[in-house]
Amino acid sequence: MKLTKLLLSILLVLAVSSVWAQQSSPSQPVVNIRIARTIKSVTYRPNSGESTIGIQGTALIPRAEGKARIQHKQGVTYIEGEVSKLVPATTFGGPFLTYVLWAITPEGSASNLGEIVVDGTSAKIKASTNLQSFGLIVTAEPYFAIGMPSEAVVLENTIIPGTYGKIEAVDAKYELLERGKYEVGMFEPFKIDPKVPLELYQARNAARIGAWMQVDKYATESWAKAQVELKNAEDFQGQKKSGNKKSVMMMARDATQIFEDARVIALKRQDDERLARERQAARERQERARAEAEAEAQQRKIEEEARKRAELEREVETARRERAEAEKMKAELATAQEAQRRAEAEAARARAVAQEEQSRRLADEARMREEEARKSADAARMREEEAKKREEVARLAAEQAAREKAELRAKLLQQFNAVLETRDTERGLVVNMGDVLFDTGRFTLRPLAREKLARLAGIVLSYPGLKLVSEGHTDNVGSEALNQKLSEQRANAVREYLLSQGVSGDIITSSGKGFSMPVGDNKTAAGRQQNRRVELIVSGEVIGSKIGN
């Protein structure tokens, strides 16, 4: 949607658990600023004339008031205004020395528009920005060049009759905005000497905040350069010569800006160190998982060999018994044949006796045949029982394999759900990553997204044999080609980050689906938010069939 057609509002909340009214003693600090109010964000139309917006004090300076005139032309938004009934920023104690004007976008990012210098109890506002949609706030800050707003919000814009455009309220994203937090008692307030430029106090403030954040350890060169600039300013101030005040102010502002640049560098490097520690922890988890898997495989191999030996011993014993029975039958047959020969010889000597012997012999042969038939039946029955036992062992092994796959799938479902919402489907385990993991219209992963994906990578690396597909989805706002490209970029961003965490490229692919597979109603904001997502589909033979929701 084009910016010129957007009129957004942003919910910013500012609750104060302990604040100063204007009549309070200035020596007491402000503590525990919280969110509790609502301000509006306005889209200023290009070349449509001047718009006026109100400015009112928060609970920190409830009597403060003013107006600002805003005009957007040739790609730049110009802001001019006045505010009255202010109090010095030092009223709030701790590290606060000055005021800074901020533009807050509907997406929740803040832009420093410059310092607000108080003259008595009033101040002029004059600033410009390339932004078109934003809300205005003023915060108490330790120095003018600070890169993120503190929680001490003293002024906010309000909608008045001279504010042109449609105003809409939307859910705030201020909770995602990085903010400077200064604890009570963190620093002793400066004793302000009116003969010393306020810029020098701001430079000193930037130095002690940087020291507290260990900037000298992470941005040594910039820190040393800023210290030199600050020393030069202090030396000029100490000379107390006429004309030195402007030089002190200039060098102090340079020192403050360099201290802020060093602080930003230090924060980046501290974040890099944290990510390195997380990657090392993931590698260690992978090694432990690999060692455990190898030990488990070795144990299974030993058990399988023991089972095979037992089966072989049973087969050998069965063959031995069968041979013994055959030898016994052979011996019995030989005995019978010998008896027959003796009977025939005796029959020649005595026919009557032979006839009797013949009858007895026939009876004996009948019993022998019956015994042989019984033994043959017993042998057949034993072979049938052995076959049934082998079939039972095979069935139990198959059931055990199926249980192991189901248990592994359930375990993976539980582990993935501990990181991100995961559901079980016919396609596999589907891990849902909403668009909160990306900036609006962007495909760059936020730190929260990288943290969750790093945890997912650690789980995937612990279970060889898994297959992954990263699928990007969008709502239907914008053209089909634009949404298709954005969905592909977001899906590939997730895949690239998992590759950087050690996941093999052979097991993960990515694809973009655009807005072809919605899960919510694109006619509502909630439905569109559901449709803006990246889904990670986890499958593989090792986790078997579907196990339920």
Give me the DSSP letters along 227-289.
Answer: HHHHHHHHHHHHH--TTHHHHHHHHHHHHHHHHHHHHHHHHHHHHHHHHHHHHHHHHHHHHHH
- Same structural domain, 391 and 517: no
Q: Can you tell me the mean pLDDT for 472-496?
A: 93
Give how far Cα 488 sits from Cα of 422, 515, 533, Å.
Answer: 21, 11, 11
Burial of 400 (0-12, 13-18, 19+ CB in 10 A): exposed
Q: Which helix (H) or strand (E) holds 127?
A: strand 122-129
pLDDT at 172 over 70: no
- Same structural domain, 475 and 368: no
What digits encode the pLDDT tens for the residues 107-160?
Answer: 878 899 999 999 999 999 999 999 988 889 999 999 998 988 988 899 999 989
Number of domains in the chain: 3
* Average predicted confidence (pLDDT) for the chain: 83
Confidence of residue 58 (pLDDT cuts 50, 70, 90): very high
- pLDDT: which is higher, 365 or 499: 499
In a domain, 257, yes or no: no
pLDDT at 5 over 70: no
In a domain, 18, yes or no: yes
pLDDT of amino acid 242? 63
pLDDT of amino acid 186? 67
In a domain, 462, yes or no: yes
- Same structural domain, 436 and 539: yes
What digits encode the pLDDT tens for the residues 214-231?
Answer: 888 888 999 999 899 999
Q: Residue for token digits 């582990």? A: 415
d(CA 184, CA 152): 12
In sequence order, the 6+-apart residues with CB closer than 8 A to the CB of 478 are 1
Classified as helix, coil or strand, 28 is: coil
Confidence of residue 182 (pLDDT cuts 50, 70, 90): low
Among 154-168, 260-274, 418-432, whose mean pLDDT is lowest?
A: 154-168
- Same structural domain, 161 and 13: yes
In a domain, 537, yes or no: yes
Q: From 536, 322, 498, select the one nearest 422 (Cα to Cα).
A: 536
pLDDT of amino acid 183? 58
What is the sign of the dihedral through the CA atoms of 277, 283, 284 and 286? positive
pTM as predicted: 0.47
d(CA 407, CA 536): 20
Show the domain range for 39: 1-183
- Same structural domain, 376 and 429: no
- Same structural domain, 70 and 171: yes
- What whole-number percentage of the chain has pLDDT above 70? 87
What digits encode the pLDDT tens for the residues 505-518?
Answer: 999 999 999 999 99
- Same structural domain, 361 and 428: no
d(CA 177, CA 1): 23
In sequence order, the 6+-apart residues with CB closer than 8 A to the CB of 507 are 466, 467, 468
d(CA 535, CA 549): 17
- Same structural domain, 533 and 392: no
In a domain, 538, yes or no: yes
- Same structural domain, 465 and 384: no
pLDDT of amino acid 101? 96
Give how far Cα 545 sits from Cα of 322, 405, 417, 466, Å.
Answer: 45, 8, 19, 13
Q: Can you tell me the mean pLDDT for 369-382?
A: 87
Q: Which helix (H) or strand (E) holds 180?
A: none
Last residue of a domain, one of 357, 373, 402: 402
Among 39-53, 333-347, 408-422, whose mean pLDDT is lowest?
A: 39-53
Classified as helix, coil or strand, 169 is: coil
Last residue of a domain, one of 123, 153, 183: 183
Classified as helix, coil or strand, 467 is: strand
CATH code of residue 88: 2.60.40
In a domain, 212, yes or no: no
What digits encode the pLDDT tens for the residues 62-86?
Answer: 999 999 999 988 889 999 999 999 9
pLDDT of amino acid 357? 85
Q: Are 415 and 459 in contact (CB under 8 A)?
A: yes
- pLDDT: which is higher, 164 or 415: 415
Tokens of 467: 């297959």
What digits encode the pLDDT tens for the residues 255-270?
Answer: 899 988 988 998 889 8
Q: Can you tell me the mean pLDDT for 282-310?
A: 91
- Same structural domain, 440 and 396: no
**Cα dihedral 485→488→492→494 (10° resolution):** 110
Confidence of residue 19 (pLDDT cuts 50, 70, 90): very low
Among 9-23, 168-182, 420-434, 526-540, whose mean pLDDT is lowest?
A: 9-23
- Same structural domain, 378 and 419: no
- What whole-number percentage of the chain has pLDDT above 90? 39
The single-letter code of the amino acid at 48 is S
What digits encode the pLDDT tens for the residues 305-330?
Answer: 999 999 999 999 999 989 998 989 88
pLDDT of amino acid 346? 87
- Same structural domain, 54 and 140: yes
In a domain, 74, yes or no: yes
Last residue of a domain, one of 402, 434, 450: 402
Tokens of 122: 């009033």
pLDDT of amino acid 472? 94
pLDDT of amino acid 238? 86
CATH code of residue 443: 3.30.1330.60
In a domain, 220, yes or no: no
